[in-house]
Structure 1
Amino acid sequence: MLTLTQVQNKSSARLAGLNPAVHSAAVALIQRCYACGIPILITQGLRTLAEQEALYAQGRTKPGTVVTHARGGYSYHNYGLAVDFALLLPDGKNVSWDMLRDGNEDRIADWRQVVQTAKILDFEWGGDWSGFKDYPHLQMTFGLALDRLRAGERPSGAAMAAVNDLLKKNEAIKKDDKAVVAVHVNGVKAADGMLDKGITYVPARMLAEAIGAKISYDPTTRTVDITLPGEKN
């Protein structure tokens, strides 16, 4: 069971070099998804032109499958304006790109929830593209086409401030009624919960595992069963 800090640390290296506003939005995305019981990993952030060219060669002049249609300079990754994500599995080591996975068992695909959260934070999703769809891809263009970026133009201070203002506004709204709290079991932190109007909400699976219980979900009755050691269902 991973804490929020552990989940954030797993992505920290890939957040280096991002545009400051994109960096802040990516951190907010990790935090908000974790609060919903969906840990994610940022798998790609800033990508150099050389790295982009090497990726473009895959499936063309080098072995492997085609993973991008963008040459060096033709991806928002090359300007620190994009990130890719994956679902972090409970073991904390492996990831999933299964867009139907429902790891938090709320009957909504985790991938869909991550994308919805990202859009609230002003990210554009590669899955909405009309042509080649890049489902793990999130970007902020700040109104700049790639040819302008290749010509040396960069996001204005006003454009980045607008994103930061949006993040602060959303955070202020969240803090009016809610707060992230640490939930301890026998003095050991089990999970980060959400305190909302006097009620603490904690991911059921994290809490059950912390007390050594088994947990299961019955979709027909929409029932979560938590069974303590030595007890019957």
Structure 2
Amino acid sequence: MLTLMQVKNKSASRLTGLHPVVRSAATALIERCYKLNIPILITQGLRTIAEQDALYAQGRTKPGAIVTNARGGYSYHNFGLAVDFALLLQNGSSVSWDMRRDDNNNQIADWQEVVKEAKALGFEWGGDWTSFKDYPHFQMAFGLTLTQLRAGAKPSISAVESAYKVINRKEEEELKSDIIAVVKVNGVKVADGVLEKGITYVPVRIIAEALGAQVGYDSATRTVEITSTH
């Protein structure tokens, strides 16, 4: 079985360029699904306008099946606010989009378990759309429309802080202490930490990823690895 670090490394390149909150949520999704014995692969992250236009042409002016109704600038992928995923099979080299698979044998489709975890992290699921359903797709809009994003709008500080709060909720609930310290990175709150004897304790992943680094844990050696992406 692949280690968590190996699973995360397979998605690492596709997390580049994502909004920090989306990257943090996608990483948390990989970790939470791994705990459920459902390894996943992020198959798409940031998509350029040109890449989006090429994808839109598929099935229309180019060979292939239609896979998107969004032209360049009309997808949250184009602004680093969306990811697509697939189930990573046990051989570590193949993926599946079979929404009925139950490889962890708990009588619940793995795909639906991933969707549940993604929604708990604040993602919107493309499978809930009424017009064009996009089952591998998750996005965070931060209250912004695509028209606003094309005009240059950015997620507000308050929207970003709210998103981090949702992402970190499960971890913060596990911190049993009445003494809480607010932790900010570049002026944006990313977590609540525990303040004890002058030392602030906070999950290392939250801080590292807010600074653009990647974090992994090797359970065999009990080693936390922080890798800078800059």
The two structures have a TM-score, normalised by structure 1, of 0.75
Equivalent position of 1:73 in the other structure: 73
Which residue does the alignment assign to 1:12? Answer: 12
- Structure 2 CA distance, aligned partners of 1:183 and 1:12? 19
- The residue correspondences of 1:11-30 to structure 2 (distance < 5 A) are 11-30=11-30
User: Take 1:101 and 1:174, find their aligned partners in 2: how far apart are those partners?
Assistant: 31
CA distance in 1, matches of 2:123, 2:83: 10
Counterparts in 2 of 1:92 and 1:175: CA distance versus 1, 3 Å: farther
SS at match of 1:84: strand
8 Å Cα contact 2:3-2:218 kept in structure 1: no
Q: Distance in 2 between matches of 1:82 and 1:167?
A: 15
Which letter does structure 1 place at the counterpart of 2:130?
A: S
Q: 2:133, 2:61 → 1: CA distance? A: 22
Q: Aligned partners of 1:169 and 1:116: how far apart in 2?
A: 15
Query: What are structure 2's unaligned runs of at least 5 residues?
Result: 177-216, 223-230
Q: Structure 1 residue 59 and structure 2 residue 59: aligned?
A: yes
Sequence identity percentage: 63
Shift of 1:162: 1.0
**Would you say the 8 A contact 2:127–2:137 is kept in 1?**
yes
After superposition, the C-alpha distances for 1:187-210 in whole angstroms (9 at most, x for unaligned) are x99xxxxxxxxxxxxxxxxxxxxx
Alignment CA distance shift 1:143-1:182 (3 Å): same
| Match of residue 3 from structure 2 | 3
Q: Which has the larger radius of gyration?
A: 1
2:99 maps to 1:112:
no
User: Quick one: distance in 1 between partners of 2:72 and 2:95?
Assistant: 27
TM-score by length of 2: 0.76
Does the residue aligned with 2:2 lie in a helix, a strand or coil? coil
Tell me which stretches of 4 or more aligned residues in structure 1 moved more than 4 Å.
181-184
Q: Distance in 2 between matches of 1:107 and 1:175?
A: 31
**2:49 corresponds to:** 49
The offset of 1:168, in angstroms, is: 2.1
Q: What is the aligned residue count? A: 183
- After superposition, the Cα gap between the structure-2 partners of 1:34 and 1:17, relative to the gap in structure 1 and judged at 3 Å, is same
Cα distance in 1 between the residues matched to 2:218 and 2:12? 21
Q: 1:88 to 1:153 in 2, by over 3 A?
A: same
What letter matches 1:29 in structure 2?
Answer: L
Cα distance in 1, alignment partners of residues 131 and 88 from structure 2? 28
1:99 aligned residue: 99
Q: In structure 1, the residue corresponding to 2:141 is in which secondary structure?
A: coil
**How far did residue 169 of structure 1 move?**
2.2
Q: Measured at CA, do residues 112 and 51 of structure 1 come closer, stay the same or move farther in structure 2, by a change above 3 Å?
A: same
Determine the C-alpha separation between the residues in 2 that align with 1:174 and 1:107. 28
Corresponding residue number in structure 2 for 1:37 = 37
1:138 corresponds to 2:138: yes
Residue 146 of structure 1 and its aligned partner are, at CA, apart by 0.6
